[in-house]
């Protein structure tokens, strides 16, 4: 990992990778379904620390997704 090579890194010592997944879809329903499938797969990975999402100020598209709503 490059975290030890980046001065001032905020990556915790026990984290070895951070992934950014971009999901494109035709409508909110299929995007939500894809996000749920990804979350369900990710939580099966041993050592998974955290799953988050950013909305980038809502500038990436017409939909905003709340992870808590998706996993209900």
The 10s digit of each residue's pLDDT in 9-37 is: 888 888 988 998 989 899 999 999 999 99
The number of domains in the chain is 1
| DSSP state for residue 48 in the 8-state scheme | -
Helix ranges restricted to H, the chain: 28-42, 67-70
Question: Rounded to two decimals, what is the model's pTM?
Answer: 0.80
Summarize the confidence of residues 56-64 as an average pLDDT.
79
| Residue-number span of the structural domain to which 33 is assigned | 3-70
Q: Which positions ≥6 away from 70 have C-beta within 8 Å?
A: 32, 35, 36, 39
What is the CB neighbour count within 10 angstroms for residue 57? 6
């Amino acid at each position: 990992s490059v975290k030890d090579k980046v001065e001032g890194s905020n990556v915790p010592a026990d984290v070895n990778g951070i992934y950014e997944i971009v999901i494109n879809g035709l409508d909110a329903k299929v995007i939500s379904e894809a996000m749920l499938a990804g979350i369900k797969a990710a939580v099966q990975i041993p050592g998974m620390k955290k799953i988050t999402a950013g909305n980038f100020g809502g500038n990436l598209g017409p939909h905003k997704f709340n992870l808590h709503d998706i996993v209900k």
